[in-house]
Each structure stands twice: as C-alpha cells, then as structure tokens.
C-alpha cells in the first residue's frame, strides 16, 4: 500500500500496524497472510474508501468500483474459480472491519455470489444439493440481517421449526428437502418484510451492495451511539474485507469454532474454546449447532487440531498477547479467519501478564502497561459472582459510590450496625444521606445504601476510606425508621431482612448473595512490585484511623499523606469534650478539656506512628469550623449547664454566637488555630509527644509532618509556626528528645496557589487539597452540584466531573503555577496531592507530569495509584 489514498488493499499488501486503514479484522488477515498462516485469500476495501463514500453522499466512486473489479480478478486467479460461475463459483465473505476494539458488528455476509439460478448447477457440480442449498440459505440469512436489518431470530425460529418437524437435534443433520423448504420460507420471510424486495440475483450487484451495507452499518443509529459513548471520532471510517469462502458446513470433516490461546477467565495457559461440527461462522451466535469443546475436535480432525495448536502458538508468540482465534475446517483443512487480542477477566489479565514475562514473551514494562487500573480496583475488592448477580432479584439501582460487594441485615442506625457487628451479623446501613455523625458508625456496617446524593465525594470518600462499599442516589427508596421499614418501589423490607448491594454497579438485590473475597495472590504482588520499580511518584494514604493505615500499608502505601485530626472527634464521647473546650465558662475548664483532647490525640497519633514506623505521616491540624460540633447538641447543652452551674440559656447563647452561615468559608482551617491558639498548641504537642514515645519504644524515628489547612497567606503560617516551634521545645525539654518534623501548607484556596512563592518561605511542603480547590476555583459546590455537572456534561460544556477527574486546564494550571512558584522560593519543596483526585488514574498522570512528589489517596485506592503512577512514567 504505497499510495496515500488507498481504496483497496490485497491481503499480501498489508500488515498488523495498518488497523487505521484496514480495520482490525483486515489488518489481522493481512498480517497472518504475511507470516504464512493459512488464511483464505482476499482484499480489504479501506476506511479511506468508506470516508470517500460518506463524503460523496453515500455514492460509490466509479474508481473504487474499478479497483474492486481488478482485485476480484486477481482473487479469481489465486483461487482458481470465477465469481458468478454457475458450476464452480468463487463464493465470497464480505466482512465489515472496524478500526476500533470493543464492538461486534455481526454484519458479515457469507456465501456472496450464489443466486437462485446458479445454486442448481452448483449443486450438480458438487454432487451435494443439500450443501449447496445450505450455502444459499445462509446467504439469504446473512444478507437480509446485514443489509435489510432483519432480526436474526426470525430466521432462527424457522430453522428451529424445521428441526422439530424433522426430529433432528442439529441443523447439520437437516435433509435436502429441509434445506429446500428453508430457502423457500426465508424468501417468503424476506419479501414479506421488505415490500416484496429480495436479495439481488446478480452476483456483481450482490457484491457491491454487500460492500455498501458494510459502509452503511457504520452509520446505523445504534453504532453511532456506541461510537459516541466510546469517544470514537465521527469521521473515522470502516473497512470492508472481501475474502474467499471456506466451508465449515461442507461435510462430516468440516466445522468451525473460536478458541482462546489461554483461558480468558482464569488465565491458565491452555487453549480452550468451542467447536461446531458441520457448521459455518454465524452459527456460533445462533443456536443452530451444538457446541463441542475443542477436545471433540481432536477426535473428529486429528490433523487439523494439531495444526491449530501450532497456529495458536505462532499467533501468540507473534502478537505477544493472548489471542482469540476464529477458524474453520473445510474437508479436513484448517483455515484461520480472524485473530485478535482476547478480552479477559481481571484475574486472567494479571496471570497472563506475569506468565508471559516469565516466558520472556513480554517485558515487565509491557506487563505493567497491560494491566488496567479498573481491573486492579476490581481485584482488591470483594465482589459477587456474575452468575449470582444474574440469578438474583434486583430490587433497586443506585449510583456506585465505593467499590466492593456486601450482604447484610437492613439497619437504619450506626448504633444498630455496631451492635449487630458485635454479634457477628453483617449489616447494610440504609439511610437518607450520609451525615458526618454517621461517619464513625459507618465502619460497623458492611455496606451503605443511601437515597440521596450523587456520587458525592463525601459519601465516596467516607465509605471508600473505610473500605465499606456504598451505593448512593437511590431515589426509589423510602425509609420509615419508626416502623423499622424500608420501601423500595412496591416492595417492603423490615429491619433485619437481608439485602445485598454492589458498589461496582449500584445494584441492590433481595436476599444474601455470596461475597467473593478479594483476589490476593502472588502474581498480583509480583506485577505490582514491577510497577513500583517504574514510578517516581510516591503513593501515600489518607488515613484517619490505625485500621486504615494498616490496611494501606498492606496495599503498599509508603506513608500517610493526610491524617485528618478532626475525624477523631467524630464520636459522641470526644465530641462532648470538644464542645466543652469550645464553650468553657472559665479558663480552668477550658484547660482541663484541652488537656483531655490532648490525651485522645496522643493515643491516636501514637498508634499511627507505630504502624507507619519511619515512613512519613502527615497530620493535618483541625480543619472544620468548630461550630460543627455544636449542631444538634441541644441535649448536651442541658447537661453542660448543670455541670457548670450556669443557665442553659447562657450555654446556648455562647453556642449561637459561634454559629456561621457558611461554614465552608467560615472560621475553619488555619483560622481555627489562630482563634484558639491553645488548641493548636495542644495538637502540635500531642504530635511531638506521640512521636517521642514511639521513637523511644521503636528505637527508630517516626517522621511526622504537620499540615496546616485552608491557608491563604504566608503570615498565617508564620504565626502558627511560632506556636508549633514552642510546643516542640516544650516537648524537647520534658522528654529530652528532639523530634524532627516538617511544616507544610495545604494549597486549597486559590489565593494560596497564587501566593505560593511567599507561602513557601514558611512551608517546607505543599499538599494540594483539590476538592476545596476545585470547589473554589470553579465556584461549584463540592456537595450537591451533581445536577449541574450532569447537565454540563450532556451539553458538552464539561467532559468529565471535575470532582472526580482533575480539571487540568483550570485547577491544574493553578497547581502547576504553585509548584513552580513554591520551588523558586524553596528548590527542595515537596509537593503532593491529597484530594479525591489522588485516586484517579488520569489525575495521577497529570500530577506525575507537573512534578509532584507524591499522591495521597484512600487506602483501597493505593494499588490503583501505584499502577497509574507507574504507567505515567513508562
């Protein structure tokens, strides 16, 4: 193929790299021809030709017709038969060949070239009228389904009726009379459905129309939709391959099948597949023939089977990947009709990649590139089996917010979940929405199902962070907590009834589906360790609890990138202490409460330092407006009033003076520390005391980093820094130990990014809080703006949800600027990201490119991040 605009390309002119021009099928046929695999000869009409056809208002260029004619002559010479010849006709397969994966067109037309008239002399010359009629029947069937869009089932029904009438169990056993009546019934069916029209009875017209139907199918509405959904460019054409037929339906020494060079479910190195005796390709997708396993092939065609195994080995070695191979045996001779990289399960993807490295077929680099991040996600979470899901009763559909699968008894409160857990009962926590109070209880449940919320970051990060699978946005669901009832549509469930939810697809099922454990095995560990050797980006975890930190460590985290210290106060006992510190009527009470808070924090930090040993642990100082701890605490106000001997009114007044209209832009982040310096000093002291204690115990130094949230200026940091330094020297004196630490700033307010140069004077590292940063840069609320994002995506204003995948042009540009400005001030400034985006492969790729040092994601996302970071560097 030398010409720039090539319309037709013989099999011996192409190669596997030419998929853009020849489509995947056409390229595979050319490549196999090139390397000497037995392929029926033919030629491919290129995508270029189809583009020309579309461009000309769906008209065939006479030049193209001319080229086809000359290629057809060449083909006639190679095969030694003439197209349209009544006795020894060349019959053709016309097969559309898409240039992109993932689509089965099912529009190939077989046995092109036969007509009602020529089928009889053909039958006579063969001495087998049954076979000739079968070929003609197949032509009618494939032509009508492909070119007239008729349903395959209409034809299958007729075949099945005929089989029943003749009492045969396989279409291969139909008699000559049966085939004759099939042809007749088909013709009636086709005419009836097309205003009397029937398939062309002139071979040349048949061929050209078949080719055109191949072009046209690429513009069919359902294919258009598919292309759009997969982001296939509008102007990508389709190729159409024209190839000599081989006949798997000829006799008892013929057949057809598909096989995989390795098991596509388990990854085992063993050729497997299905084989149909006395059958042709499209029988694979109809139930016209009974499949046999490949073993049966050995018995029927020992020679062809031996050749086939050899061909499979050659193809796998040549393509260096698992292949799915379509083949036919024509009177004992093997022909290969297509080869393609095989689809496979996540488990098979890991196993085959690792095996192929060990067989020296591919490099480690390639193995790492072959694993998809969504497959890794699938491998590390528990799940239901496909069969179980297919057989289960679907009761509702929501949005998958956190992956995994769970079954359990319905509970409506975290407390209920906790109690059941202590008795070993699994639960699904069903609630209208996830509130911060629900947070600490969520981990007692096995799954969480909410009526409200799209895939809000909130639900996803909370549930995902705790390894709880979660389905949100299930509006059909109403909860009657008092009666202990859950209604979903017409169905009613009581507290304690079992349901099952899948955080992979958002489905809710009645009853208990078996949960399959996450896949945890050697091959997976191996490929992940190879991935680690290719990446420069470090992967840390957002962990607020020792459990999360421990889980993340098992999954390969290299430190804690974000430990949110406020999370530790999200339970009633500690929230009460926090409330008392904030509302304290006297300095003495205040001091007492702050002291108590410190004890809690020392305990928390100690455990996390122990788990992380010498790995870095970034602890973020209190972030939310402390008024969040006062909401819904009316009962406690009463208790406090009596504890302190003051009026309830007084407590309430103090509380309402702290009330803020907009907490997300209120007295939060570093502003808390500036308003309550004693609380900030307490936190710093707790960190240093915990670090000192663990250092003494381990005889190794923990590596604490203190992260200041919601910073907008270097001056804020300077004030905070002084308090922290004082706390450090206090601890140094009392513990007689110096704790090394670094001080860093969150970059989550646009001003911080814009003044990064000044902030870096005080901060030794940056951590990009991309959730808040996105919210503030885009002016889009991180909770409850799902409807805007949805509409904007429909209207093509946004391509992706900016809260899931980093907005590189906007937020990303600001990050890039901040990193650069920060490093101008402080060349060795460390920078990382701790927002939800840190678990998203595309965002990770961006972070890698702009020179961040680490990403910090949820525990469960650590393997995905490790892989994505490696792929970004390869």
Provide the binding-site residues for Mg ion, judged by CB under 5 A: 338, 748, 769, 772
Q: Return the H-helix or E-strand segment holding 637.
A: helix 634-644
Nearer to Mg ion, 344 or 420 (CB): 344
User: CA-CA distance, 164 to 281, in Å (whole number)?
Assistant: 22
Residue showing the smallest CB distance to ligand ADP in the complex:
281
Instruction: Look at residue 772 and give the partner it binds from ligand ADP, Mg ion, none, a contact being a CB closer than 5 to 8 Å depending on partner kind.
Output: Mg ion
Rank residues 282 and 416 by Cβ distance to ligand ADP and give the closer one: 282
Q: At residue 671, what are phi and psi to the nearest 5 degrees?
A: -65, -30
Helices (H), ranges, 645-764: 648-657, 670-675, 677-698, 714-735, 750-754, 756-762
Residue 128, C-beta contacts closer than 8 angstroms, at least 6 positions apart: 251
- Measured on CA atoms in the order 204, 207, 211, 213, is the torsion positive or negative? positive
Q: How far is the CB of 326 from Mg ion (least distance, A)?
A: 5
Using DSSP bridges, classify how beta strands 92-97 and 109-112 pair: parallel, antiparallel or unpaired.
antiparallel
Q: Which is nearer to Mg ion, 537 or 834 (CB)?
A: 834
Would you say 326 or 544 has its CB closer to ligand ADP? 326
Q: Tokens standing for 639?
A: 């208790």
Per the DSSP assignment, residues forming a β-bridge with 617 are: 560, 704
The residue among 97 and 402 lying less far from ligand ADP, judged by its C-beta, is 97
Least distance between ligand ADP and beta carbon 705 (Å): 56
**Out of Mg ion, ligand ADP, none, which partner does residue 280 contact, by CB within 5 to 8 A per kind?**
ligand ADP
Q: Whole-number minimum distance, CB 96 to ligand ADP, in Å?
A: 7
Strand partners, 95: 241
H-type alpha helices, 427-494: 439-442, 457-465
Token output for 352: 């085959």
105 binds, among ligand ADP, Mg ion, none (CB under 5 to 8 A by kind): ligand ADP
Please report, as ranges, the residues that interact with ligand ADP according to CB under 6 A: 40, 93, 95, 104-106, 108, 110, 243, 245-246, 256, 280-282, 326, 328, 337-338
Total Cβ atoms within 10 A of residue 795: 8
Question: Cβ 104 to ligand ADP, closest distance in Å?
Answer: 5
* Residue 328: CB minimum distance to ligand ADP, A: 5
Closer residue to ligand ADP, CB minimum distance, 96 or 702: 96
Of Mg ion, ligand ADP, none, which one sits near residue 238, judging by CB under 5 to 8 A according to partner kind?
Answer: none
| Nearest distance from C-beta of residue 117 to ligand ADP, angstroms | 23
**Nearest distance in Å: CB 239, ligand ADP:** 11
Nearer to ligand ADP, 337 or 488 (CB): 337
339 binds, among Mg ion, ligand ADP, none (CB under 5 to 8 A by kind): none
Task: Choose from Mg ion, ligand ADP, none: what does 95 bind? Cβ within 5-8 Å by kind.
Answer: ligand ADP
State which residue, 176 or 667, has the beta carbon closest to Mg ion: 667
CB of 338 or CB of 601, closer to Mg ion: 338
Query: Pairing between strand 560-564 and 538-542?
Result: parallel
User: 256 touches which of Mg ion, ligand ADP, none (CB within 5 to 8 A by kind)?
Assistant: ligand ADP
Measured from the CB of residue 331, what is the shortest distance to ligand ADP in angstroms?
A: 13
Instruction: Identify which of 238, 212, 207 has the alpha carbon closest to the alpha carbon of residue 22.
Output: 238
Query: What span, in angstroms and rounded, lies between the C-alpha atoms of 874 and 871?
Result: 5
Q: From residue 200, give the alpha-carbon distance in Å to each of 59, 150, 518.
A: 18, 16, 56
**Cα angle, residue 97 at apex, residues 290 and 215 outer, rounded to 5°:** 115
Secondary structure letter of residue 462 according to DSSP = H
Q: Minimum distance between the CB of residue 815 and Mg ion, rounded to whole angstroms?
A: 14
Contacts of 853 (CB under 8 A, 6+ apart): 537, 538, 830, 831, 832
282 interacts with, out of ligand ADP, Mg ion, none, CB within 5 to 8 A per kind: ligand ADP
Q: What span, in angstroms and rounded, lies between the C-alpha atoms of 312 and 306? A: 10
The option from ligand ADP, Mg ion, none interacting with 261 (CB < 5 to 8 A, set by class) reads: none
Query: Within 10 A of 100 (CB to CB), how many other CB atoms are there?
Result: 17
CB of 845 to ligand ADP, least distance (A): 33
Q: 159 vs 760, which CB is nearer to ligand ADP?
A: 159
* Other C-beta atoms lying within 10 Å of the C-beta of residue 828: 8
Give the separation between CA 292 and CA 172, rounded to whole angstroms: 13
Binder of residue 108, out of Mg ion, ligand ADP, none (CB less than 5 to 8 A by kind) = ligand ADP
Closer CB to ligand ADP, residue 281 or residue 786?
Answer: 281
Please state, in angstroms and as integers, the Cα–Cα distance from residue 182 to each residue in 109, 137, 185, following that order: 18, 7, 5
Q: From the list ligand ADP, Mg ion, none, pick the one residue 243 interacts with, judged by a Cβ distance below 5 to 8 Å according to partner type.
A: ligand ADP
Give the whole-angstrom CA distance, residue 104 versus residue 326: 13
Shortest Cβ 543–ligand ADP spacing (Å): 48
Q: Which of 409, 413, 424 has the alpha carbon at shortest distance from 493? A: 409
């Amino acid at each position: 193929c030398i010409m720039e605009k090539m319309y037709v390309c013989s099999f011996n002119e192409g190669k596997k790299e030419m998929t853009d021009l020849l489509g995947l099928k056409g390229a595979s046929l050319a490549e196999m021809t090139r390397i000497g695999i037995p392929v029926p000869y033919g030629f491919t009409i290129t995508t270029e030709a189809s583009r020309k056809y579309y461009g000309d208002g769906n008209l065939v260029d006479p030049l193209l017709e001319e080229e086809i004619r000359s290629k057809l002559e060449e083909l006639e010479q190679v095969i030694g038969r003439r197209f349209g010849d009544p006795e020894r006709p060349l019959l053709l397969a016309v097969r559309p060949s898409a240039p992109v994966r993932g689509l089965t067109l099912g529009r190939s037309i077989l046995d092109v070239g036969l007509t009602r008239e020529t089928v009889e002399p053909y039958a006579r010359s063969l001495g087998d009228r049954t076979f000739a009629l079968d070929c003609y029947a197949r032509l009618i069937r494939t032509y009508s389904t492909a070119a007239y869009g008729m349903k395959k089932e209409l034809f299958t029904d007729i075949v099945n009726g005929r089989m029943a009438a003749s009492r045969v169990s396989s279409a291969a056993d139909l008699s000559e009379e049966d085939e004759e009546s099939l042809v007749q019934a088909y013709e009636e069916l086709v005419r009836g459905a097309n205003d009397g029209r029937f398939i062309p009875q002139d071979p040349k017209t048949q061929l050209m129309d078949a080719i055109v139907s191949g072009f046209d199918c690429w513009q069919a509405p359902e294919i258009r939709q598919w292309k759009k959904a997969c982001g296939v460019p509008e102007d990508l054409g389709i190729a159409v391959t024209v190839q000599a037929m081989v006949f798997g339906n000829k006799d008892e020494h013929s057949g057809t099948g598909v096989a995989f060079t390795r098991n596509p479910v388990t990854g085992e190195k063993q050729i497997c597949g299905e084989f149909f005796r006395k059958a042709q390709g499209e029988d694979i997708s109809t139930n016209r023939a009974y499949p046999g396993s490949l073993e049966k092939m050995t018995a029927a065609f020992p020679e062809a089977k031996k050749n086939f195994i050899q061909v499979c080995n050659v193809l796998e070695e040549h393509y260096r990947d698992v292949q799915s191979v379509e083949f036919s045996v024509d009177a004992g001779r093997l022909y290969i009709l297509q080869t393609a990289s095989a689809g496979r399960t996540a488990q098979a993807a890991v196993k085959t990649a690792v095996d192929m490295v060990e067989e020296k077929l591919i490099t480690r680099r390639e193995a790492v590139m072959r694993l998809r991040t969504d497959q890794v996600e699938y491998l590390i979470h528990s799940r239901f089996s496909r069969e179980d899901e297919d057989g289960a009763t679907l009761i509702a559909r929501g949005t998958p917010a956190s992956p995994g699968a769970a079954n359990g008894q319905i509970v409506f409160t975290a407390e209920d979940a906790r109690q059941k857990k202590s008795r070993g009962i699994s639960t699904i926590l069903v609630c209208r929405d996830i509130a911060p109070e629900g947070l600490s209880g969520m981990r007692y449940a096995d799954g969480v199902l909410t009526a409200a919320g799209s895939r809000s970051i909130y639900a996803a990060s909370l549930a995902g962070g705790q390894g709880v699978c979660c389905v949100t946005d299930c509006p059909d669901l109403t909860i009657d907590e008092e009666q202990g009832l859950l209604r979903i549509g017409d169905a009613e469930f009581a507290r304690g009834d079992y349901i099952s939810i899948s955080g992979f697809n958002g489905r809710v099922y009645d009853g208990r589906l078996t949960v399959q454990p996450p896949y945890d095995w050697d091959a997976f560990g191996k490929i992940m360790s190879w991935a680690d050797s290719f990446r420069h980006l470090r992967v840390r975890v957002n962990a607020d609890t020792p459990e999360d930190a421990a889980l993340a460590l098992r999954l390969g985290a290299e430190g804690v990138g974000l430990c949110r210290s406020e999370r530790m106060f999200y339970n009633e006992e500690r929230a009460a202490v926090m409330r008392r510190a904030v509302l304290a009527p006297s300095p003495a009470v205040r001091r007492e409460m702050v002291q108590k808070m410190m004890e809690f924090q020392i305990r928390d930090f100690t455990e996390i330092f122990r788990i992380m040993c010498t790995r870095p642990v970034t602890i973020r100082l209190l972030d939310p407006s402390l008024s969040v701890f006062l909401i819904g605490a009316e009962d406690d106000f009463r208790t406090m009033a009596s504890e302190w001997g003051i009026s309830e009114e007084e407590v309430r007044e103090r509380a309402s003076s702290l009330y803020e209209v907009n907490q997300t832009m209120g007295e939060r982040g570093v502003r808390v520390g500036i308003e309550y310096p004693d609380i900030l000093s307490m936190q710093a002291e707790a960190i240093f005391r915990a670090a000192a204690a663990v250092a003494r115990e381990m005889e190794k130094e923990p590596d604490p980093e203190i992260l200041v949230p919601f910073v907008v200026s270097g001056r804020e940091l300077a004030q905070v820094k002084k308090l922290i330094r004082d706390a450090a020297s206090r601890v140094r004196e009392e513990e007689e130990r110096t704790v090394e630490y670094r001080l860093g700033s969150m970059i989550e307010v646009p001003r911080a990014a814009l003044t990064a140069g000044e902030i870096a004077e005080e901060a030794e590292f940056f951590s990009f809080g991309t959730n808040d940063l996105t919210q503030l840069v885009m002016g889009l609320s991180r909770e409850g703006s799902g409807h805007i994002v949805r509409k904007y995506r429909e209207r093509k204003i946004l391509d992706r949800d900016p809260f899931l995948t980093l907005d590189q042009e906007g937020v990303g540009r600001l990050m890039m600027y901040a990193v650069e400005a920060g490093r101008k001030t402080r060349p060795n400034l460390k920078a990382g990201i701790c927002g939800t985006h840190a678990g998203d492969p595309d965002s990770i790729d961006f972070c890698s490119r702009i020179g961040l040092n680490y990403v910090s994601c949820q525990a469960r996302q650590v393997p995905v991040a490790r892989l994505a970071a490696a792929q970004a560097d390869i």
